[in-house]
Structures are given as structure tokens and as C-alpha cells.
Amino acid sequence: MNTKITELLKIKYPIIQAGMVWVSGWKLASAVSNCGGLGLIGSGSMKPDLLREHIQKCKQATKNPFGVNIPLLRGDADELVKVTLEEEVKIVFTSAGHPKKYSQLLKENGVKLIHVVPSVKFALKAQEAGCDAVVGEGVEAGGHNGADEITTFALIPQLVDALEIPVIAAGGIADGRGILAALSLGASGVQIGTRFAATVESSAHENYKRRIVEAKDNDTVLAFAKIGLMRMLKNEFANKAIQAEREGWSEEKLKELLASKRERLGIFEGDEVEGAMEAGQGSGLIKDIPTVEVLFKRLLTEYKSALDRINSFEV
Amino acid sequence: MNTKITELLKIKYPIIQAGMVWVSGWKLASAVSNCGGLGLIGSGSMKPDLLREHIQKCKQATKNPFGVNIPLLRGDADELVKVTLEEEVKIVFTSAGHPKKYSQLLKENGVKLIHVVPSVKFALKAQEAGCDAVVGEGVEAGGHNGADEITTFALIPQLVDALEIPVIAAGGIADGRGILAALSLGASGVQIGTRFAATVESSAHENYKRRIVEAKDNDTVLAFAKIGLMRMLKNEFANKAIQAEREGWSEEKLKELLASKRERLGIFEGDEVEGAMEAGQGSGLIKDIPTVEVLFKRLLTEYKSALDRINSFEV
């Protein structure tokens, strides 16, 4: 396939695996890149030295392009950026913050910079900052979400109309139909999270993968509006978070309830009761835990059959 | 175009104009049906006698199929159903309630029955009740919304997988790209609301239409979680509703704040301060107030050009 995003990133298919805490290390990222998509190492759950190790292993495991996702709100974002530059990673996805701080440095080093945005306003800022593309992420996505709660369906065409740079769609995409729909809305590529989290190569705990497979359409919730929205699977911890908001807890108390350990507990350690099991609304479409290779082929087959169906409606 | 929905409803294009309070009377519905789509008279803001008048005028204004939308929570839903049967309307869309109460009666009279649903659970119930199709409505849609807040992108493919009957997609669709995306997700038709609310033939107030045109991607909010979610344009009333929820108002007090006059005030009387101006997240895509004929042609042109773009990505 040939879109502005395959050209920009020099990849075969415009399918990007989202950087996900405790999920996307070198194993997942290299497997996706080996299939002709773009794998991303999620540095959000890594110290700088661990990120370096993952980058080096990923280089060993694939000769195709891969990238690193860096959440800019991290206290040590400077060091994470430094490691990616030292290791000569040429694709960086940033999220949760303003990319302007690093854009000049990254671009001087020949890095393609792509920022994740939840609205037109932040997308225009990313474009001004010199980003090469944006990921427009709808509120159906798992994990952290923008405060405006704009959905993929509404967000993507508005980004496409507002921007000069290409748009990658994220949020709710879990099969080939979703890829076709995202491109139909004007996107030039897709970023897929939860679907890749439930693969053999994902480093998440088996309990977390199983919970995704079991989830129905209404099994995720948005919580923590006061301190930054997060979408996750329903469980006791999620209920506690919702209840805390209803009771009007302070930001401090909410931050204490969340703490960063919750993600590790849910996703990596598989605590189904007290862990934060971040996942998107597309979970209801996920019915198995395949290898990346099997999944990737299936996505392309589904895409082609959805396209054939569309073309059969004579216009 | 030829889909399961064009066949079921005997229409030329699988484009349905949503039934909308204070917006979709006979003028709008007949204009859409005359273009080859399906117009719906929104009975939600009509007494039974007024509905009868609108149906009779619609019959005069178009020879093509049109339908009536009936919100089943209305106290006089029995009478609204009676009027549609007496006037021999052959297509009924129901929403906000359980269609089982009327499905046998309607089907015995040769009526095609389509129910609006926000989740797989309610869709399965509609199918069991004998509905001929469902409208799957994502949370980006204007007006009343399901409690699970499932988005169009996540909802539609899950409905398609779960049901035998065809699925019409609604929520966030405001241009030809959206129609193509909805069909890509597996829908056999689309229901479009806000985009048709901002047309010449819509009976809404000019202030309401202008506010839709002015709206950006993040200019709608969801409120009234406790008594039934509603999406509307941001204004003083919407802020008041959000604030009331934060302060934990009781259901009774919230119902008092909302009252049914709010919709009339905002949409029909054009009160930009105190009215509820229901609209979807697709508002940001709407930049003018065309006639239905101009809009309909544009939707088809946009659809074709989006399809050409998709087909240019060699797979």
C-alpha cells in the first residue's frame, strides 16, 4: 500500500502498533516491523537504560524501520530523548505534552517526529512545532485520553481538513474494517493499540490479554477526568475510581488512588482486581491471542474483503 | 447504490435523515426523500394531530418512501403509533424504549420497523422483537445517548458481527467520507442528523443553525448522565447542567433543570443562552446551510472522491 505515511516512514503498510506501557517492548515492535508495519517501543514504562536495551535488541530483531514512543510528561523525558538519539532511532512518536521542546533537536538529527493529539487545537500546535505527522486519537482508545472526549469518527476528518501534514487515525481500530474506515475518513495510516496488546509477542500478563478477549462492547470505562482521563477495562479498581469521582475526591487523593503502580499491577502483573487494565472500546472485537504474523495477515485480508464489499455497492 | 438497506426500504441511496425534535417536519423529510434518501418525520416534538398533518403534507410533497420516528418513552406513544398506522406510513423508526410493545402490531400492518440502539445488548433485544434493522448510534451523536458511551467506530462492527439484521450507522457522520467509513465498518446505511439540521428545509431556528456552523470539534458536551445522557452545543445552559452534575444534584432537580421546554427553546426558538441546542460532534465539519438538494449531491460527490482515494492505495 502506498500512502503519505508509508512514504514518510518508509514502511510497506500504513499500520502502526501503538507504544503501550508494559506491552510494547522490542519483541512486539520488531514483530510488527518485520511484517511491514511500524512497531513502536513504548518507553513510558522504561527507565532510560532499559529503553536502550530494548532499542538495541529491536535493531537485532528487525532490519525494517521501527520507532520509540516517548510520553513527554515523564520527568526524565530529556534522558529518553537522549537515548533514542544516541541509538540513532529515526522515528519518534511523542504524546502527553508539547512536542516543541524537542522538535528542533530531533529534526536536526534526521528524526521523523509524530505527535499524538486529541483535538484540532493540539494538532495545529504540533504542526507549528514542525511535526511530520500527527496521530489523531479518539476517546474510544485505551489508556490516556484528551479532555474534550472527541471520537475517532468526528476527529479524523476535522484534522485532515485543518492540517497540511498527514494524519494517522487511532482509537477503536481492531480489524481490517476499521483500517478501511479510518482511511475513508481521510487518514493516511492507522495506529492500533489494544489489538496488538493481545498478541503472543506482547509483554503483557496473560490475565490482561484474557480480559481483553473476554470484554464486550461496554466493558471499558473512562475515569480520572480531574487528573487526566484514562480508559480501562471494568474491574474493582475502575469502579473505585468512578465512585471516587462521584464523591468529589480531590486531585491529590485521586492521584494517590491511581499512582503509577496501578498500570504495572494490571497490565504486567495481571492483577484483575486492583490493577488498571488500560484498553480501548475495540476490545469487544478481539476474540483471540494470535502471533503478530497471523494477526497482520488477517488485518490485510479483512481490509481487502471490506474494500471489495464497498466496491460492490455500485455508485 | 445497492445495499441491504436500500433494498429493505426501497430507496435509491442508503442515506437516512434522522428524526429530530423541532427540526424534521414534512419539509425536511420530503426534501430528503425526493433526493432518493429516506426522510423521517420526528414526532418527538409533535402532538398526534400535528403528526397527522405532517404525514399528510409529506405525502403531498413526495411520492418516494418516507418514515416517522417515534420516541417510545413518550406518554402518548400509543397515539403516535395509531396515527402512523391510520395514515399508512410504511416505515417506522423507534427510539428511547423497547420496540417489543409495538412490533407485532406494526409488522401485521406491513410496516418496516427499525430501532435505534447504543449497544450490542439492546440491538439483540431489537432483533428478537422482530425489528427489520437497527440504527447503531455512537456517543458522538447529538441529542439523547446511551449510558455506555460507545462510539460509532467501536459500535458498528460489533453490531454487524452480533446481528443477522442489517445495521445503519449513526453518530459523527456529516460528509461523504463519513458515509464511506460507516459502510467500511460493515453498516448497510447511514443515519445523519446534525448535518441535515443545518439545511434550508430544517424547521430549526436560524440561531441554532448558525451555532452549528460556527461550532468547532470540541464545542459539544455530554450532560445529564443521571437522567439520560444528552449531547448539545456548549452554552450557558449546558454549563449549568455540567455544574449541576458536579454538585451532585438529585434526579428530580436535574429533571426540573432540563424540562422539555429546553429543547424547544434552543432549537425552535433560538435561545442561545438558556436553550438546549442538541447537536453532534460532527458539527465541526459543517460550514454552511445549503438546501437539501445541494447537500445531497455534495454527499454523493464526496463519497465518490473518498472511494477513489481509497482505491488508489494499491493493496
Asked if residue A18 lies in contact with residue A170, where contact means CB atoms within 8 angstroms, the answer is: yes
Q: Per-residue confidence of chain B (315 residues) as pLDDT tens digits?
A: 999 999 999 999 999 999 999 999 999 999 999 999 999 999 999 999 999 999 999 999 999 999 999 999 989 999 999 999 999 999 999 998 899 999 999 999 999 999 999 999 999 999 999 999 999 999 999 999 999 999 999 999 999 999 999 999 999 999 999 999 999 999 999 999 999 999 999 999 999 999 999 999 999 999 999 899 999 999 999 999 999 988 889 999 999 999 879 999 999 999 999 999 999 999 999 999 999 999 999 999 999 999 999 999 977
Residue where the block lists cell 492540517 = A163
Spatial CB neighbours of B205, under 8 Å, sequence gap ≥ 6: B267, B268, B269, B270
Question: pLDDT (tens digit, 9 = 90+) per residue, A79-89?
Answer: 999 999 999 99
- What the block records as the C-alpha cell of A15 is 499500520
Higher pLDDT, A216 or B259: A216
Q: Which residues of B touch A3 (CB under 8 A)?
A: 313
Report chain A's mean pLDDT, rounded to a whole number.
97
pLDDT at A147: 94
Tell which residue, B297, B169, B198, B284, has the closest CA to residue B234.
B284
| ipTM of the complex as predicted | 0.97
Contact A151 B150 (CB under 8 A): no
Does any CB of chain B come closer than 8 Å to the CB of residue A248?
yes
Does any CB of chain B come closer than 8 Å to the CB of residue A222?
yes
DSSP string, A157-184: HHHHHH-SS-EEEESS--SHHHHHHHHH
Residue A42 has pLDDT above 90, yes or no: yes
pLDDT at A96: 87
Nearest 5°: the CA angle B246, B251, B253 is 80
Tell which residue, A2, A82, A67, A81, has the closest CA to residue A28.
A67
Distance from CA of B81 to the nearest CA of A (A): 31
Which of B2, B281, B311 is nearest residue A154 as measured by Cβ atoms?
Answer: B281
- What the block records as the C-alpha cell of A12 is 510497506
Distance from CA of A43 to the nearest CA of B (A): 27
With H, G, I as helix, E, B as strand and everything else as coil, classify residue A254.
Answer: helix
What is chain B's alpha carbon radius of gyration, rounded to the nearest angstrom? Answer: 18
Contact B154 A281 (CB under 8 A): yes
Which of A178, A311, A313 is nearest residue B157 as measured by Cβ atoms?
Answer: A178
pLDDT band at A245 (very low <50, low <70, confident <90, very high): confident
Which of A14, A150, A171 is nearest residue B281 as measured by Cβ atoms?
Answer: A150
Which of A151, A152, A216 is nearest residue B120 as measured by Cβ atoms?
Answer: A216
Tell which residue, B193, B256, B192, B194, has the closest CA to residue B224.
B256
Distance from CA of B151 to the nearest CA of A (A): 6
Residue where the block lists cell 411520492 = B63
Residue A256 has pLDDT above 90, yes or no: yes
Interatomic CA distance for residues A274 and A53, integer angstroms = 30
Distance from CA of A303 to the nearest CA of B (A): 9
Mean pLDDT of A239-252: 90
Q: Which residues of A touch B155 (CB under 8 A)?
A: 217, 281
Distance from CA of B126 to the nearest CA of A (A): 17
pLDDT at B247: 84
In terms of CA atoms, which chain B residue is nearest residue A2? B313
How many beta-carbon pairs below 8 A join chains A and B? 169
DSSP 8-state symbol, B284: G
With H, G, I as helix, E, B as strand and everything else as coil, classify residue A41.
Answer: strand
Residue A146 has pLDDT above 90, yes or no: yes
Residue A140 has pLDDT above 90, yes or no: yes
Mean pLDDT of A219-230: 95
Asked if residue A7 lies in contact with residue A169, where contact means CB atoms within 8 angstroms, the answer is: no
Contact A139 B121 (CB under 8 A): no
Tell which residue, A68, A48, A72, has the closest CA to residue A58.
A68
Distance from CA of B188 to the nearest CA of A (A): 10
Q: For every residue of A134-154, which 3-state class applies, written as one string? A: EEEECCCCCEECCCCCCCHHH
- What the block records as the C-alpha cell of B116 is 435505534
Interior/surface letters A150-168, b for 16+ CB within 10 angstroms, e for the rest: bbbbbbbbbbbebbebbbb
Contact B222 A119 (CB under 8 A): no
Does any CB of chain B come closer than 8 Å to the CB of residue A3?
yes
pLDDT at B259: 84
Chain A, 40 to 79: residues with Cβ < 8 Å from chain B are none
Spatial CB neighbours of B109, under 8 Å, sequence gap ≥ 6: B85
- Mutation pick from B179, B184, B300, B303 vs chain A, by most beta carbons of A within 10 Å, is B184
Chain A, 126 to 185: residues with Cβ < 8 Å from chain B are 138-140, 148-155, 157-158, 161, 171-175, 177-178, 180-185
Which of A185, A309, A313 is nearest residue B181 as measured by Cβ atoms?
Answer: A185
Residue A315 has pLDDT above 80, yes or no: no
Distance from CA of A151 to the nearest CA of B (A): 6
- Mutation pick from B3, B11, B217, B309 vs chain A, by most beta carbons of A within 10 Å, is B217
Q: Which amino acid is at A68?
A: V
Distance from CA of B285 to the nearest CA of A (A): 6
Cβ neighbour number for residue A172 with a 10 Å cutoff: 35
Cβ neighbour number for residue B100 with a 10 Å cutoff: 15
- Among positive and negative, which fits the CA dihedral A300, A304, A310, A311? positive
Cβ neighbour number for residue A132 with a 10 Å cutoff: 22
pLDDT band at A170 (very low <50, low <70, confident <90, very high): very high
Contact A140 B153 (CB under 8 A): yes
User: Domains of chain A (ranges plus CATH)?
Assistant: 4-204+285-312 (3.20.20.70), 206-282 (no CATH)
